[in-house]
């Protein structure tokens, strides 16, 4: 069998054989001999040196995973003797996956619910998909330049490899998130602010002393503002301490009732 067809993503490829190997479709492919320019001396050559079979995982075809067995040709330069592989449009050198496969996985790894789902669909391991995603994410993330005059710092629970908690850095005026730090260690935030925070004058943050120390050491003497949420939380905690102390000697029944009604103390007096 020798078909030259324009398969999407496999233009100009000759399919010399197609077979079913277990649940995969195996396509044996090669390219026509064409003049190639020597990468060393720029002379043109058509001299074939040898062939290597490169096995490449490709997209599904009729709902079956496909593999390409690419008989990749190497040319030899007639002028300088340099040996080099032929150009092709569907796979990069030393890659086990086709370009089309990579593109599809990039899109799906962002949109799918889980990496495992993508892995199952495209016939790869989850860790392969995660690695692809990481590479993609790195390309997408731009290093922030200088931080704005007012920033807000807060932690959230993201449960990543780097730690349970991460730090969000946001613009204190527009509230747009600027960056996420991998963990909430003092060292991490200090180094980050030293690199990017030369223009920061005001920091809105919670009232933890560890954060405060890191911010002050990195930025000198910025104005630190306790954000309203954390500020109020301290007041609620203090108020609740008083409530418990007063209600401690009440009977069980009254004390439980008092506990259930504790939010009444948070209410605006006009709304009681
Ligand atoms: Zn040459």
What are the sequence ranges of the domains in the chain?
A: 1-95, 97-141, 150-226, 232-271
Tokens of 233: 């939380």
**Burial (CB count <10 Å: 0-12, 13-18, 19+), residue 49:** middle
Q: 75 C-alpha to center of ligand 1: Å?
A: 10
- Percentage of residues in the chain having pLDDT higher than 90: 32
Residue 157's pLDDT is 81
The string of pLDDT tens digits covering residues 82-97 is: 999 999 988 888 888 9
Q: Which of 188, 230, 192, 178 is nearest to 208 (CA)?
A: 230
Q: 97 C-alpha to center of ligand 1: Å?
A: 30
- Element (H or E) spanning 71, and its range? strand 64-76
8 pLDDT more than 80? no
Confidence of residue 142 (pLDDT cuts 50, 70, 90): low
pLDDT mean over 54-61: 90
Instruction: Provide the CATH number for the domain formed by 150-226 in this structure.
Output: 3.30.420.10
Residue 211's pLDDT is 79
Average pLDDT, the chain: 87
The string of pLDDT tens digits covering residues 209-253 is: 777 888 888 888 888 888 777 788 888 889 999 999 999 999 999
11 pLDDT more than 80? no
Confidence of residue 6 (pLDDT cuts 50, 70, 90): low
Q: 44 C-alpha to center of ligand 1: Å?
A: 8
9 pLDDT more than 80? no
Q: Which of 106, 114, 105 is nearest to 139 (CA)?
A: 106
Return the HEC string of 137-155: HHHHCCCCCCCCCEEEEEE
Q: 79 C-alpha to center of ligand 1: Å?
A: 5
The string of pLDDT tens digits covering residues 188-214 is: 888 999 989 888 999 998 877 777 888
Q: 85 C-alpha to center of ligand 1: Å?
A: 13
163 pLDDT more than 80? no
CA distances 68 to 44, 47, 55, 98, 152, Å, are 28, 24, 6, 9, 52
Contact 37, 43 (CB under 8 A): yes
Q: Count the helices and strands in the chain (H runs, E runs).
A: 7, 13
Backbone phi, then psi, for 3, in 5-degree steps?
-115, 135
The string of pLDDT tens digits covering residues 109-138 is: 888 888 899 998 898 999 999 888 888 887
Euclidean distance between CA atoms 95 and 97, whole angstroms: 6
Euclidean distance between CA atoms 27 and 154, whole angstroms: 53
Confidence of residue 35 (pLDDT cuts 50, 70, 90): very high
Tell me the HSE value of 142 on the side-chain side, using a 13 A CA sphere: 5
Residue 70's SS3 state is strand
1 pLDDT more than 90? no
Q: 47 C-alpha to center of ligand 1: Å?
A: 11
DSSP state of 264: G
4 pLDDT more than 70? no
Q: 67 C-alpha to center of ligand 1: Å?
A: 33
Q: 230 C-alpha to center of ligand 1: Å?
A: 70
Question: What's the residue count for the chain?
Answer: 272
Residue 29's SS3 state is strand
């Amino acid at each position: 069998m020798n078909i030259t067809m324009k398969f999407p993503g496999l233009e100009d490829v000759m399919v010399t054989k197609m077979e079913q190997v277990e649940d995969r479709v195996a396509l044996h492919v090669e390219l026509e001999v064409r003049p190639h320019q020597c990468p060393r001396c720029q002379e043109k050559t058509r001299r074939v040196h040898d062939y290597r079979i490169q096995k490449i995982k490709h997209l599904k075809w009729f709902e079956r995973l496909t593999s390409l067995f690419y008989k990749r040709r190497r040319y030899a330069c007639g002028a300088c003797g340099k040996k080099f592989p032929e150009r092709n449009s569907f796979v990069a050198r030393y890659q086990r996956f086709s370009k089309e496969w990579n593109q599809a996985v990039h899109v799906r790894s962002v949109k799918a619910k889980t990496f495992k789902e993508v892995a199952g669909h495209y016939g790869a391991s989850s860790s392969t998909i995660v690695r692809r995603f990481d590479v993609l994410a790195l390309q997408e993330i731009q290093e922030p330049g200088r931080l704005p005059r007012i920033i807000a710092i807060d932690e959230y629970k993201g449960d990543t490899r780097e730690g349970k908690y991460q730090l969000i850095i946001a613009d204190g005026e527009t509230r747009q998130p600027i960056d996420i730090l991998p963990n909430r260690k003092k060292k991490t935030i200090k180094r980050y602010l030293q690199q990017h925070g030369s223009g920061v004058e005001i920091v809105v943050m919670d009232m933890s002393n560890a954060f405060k120390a890191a911010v002050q050491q990195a930025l000198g003497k910025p104005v630190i503002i306790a954000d309203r949420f954390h500020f109020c939380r301290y007041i609620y905690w203090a108020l609740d301490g008083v409530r418990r102390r007063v209600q401690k000697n009440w009977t069980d029944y009254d004390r439980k009732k008092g506990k259930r009604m504790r939010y009444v103390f948070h209410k605006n007096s006009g709304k009681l």
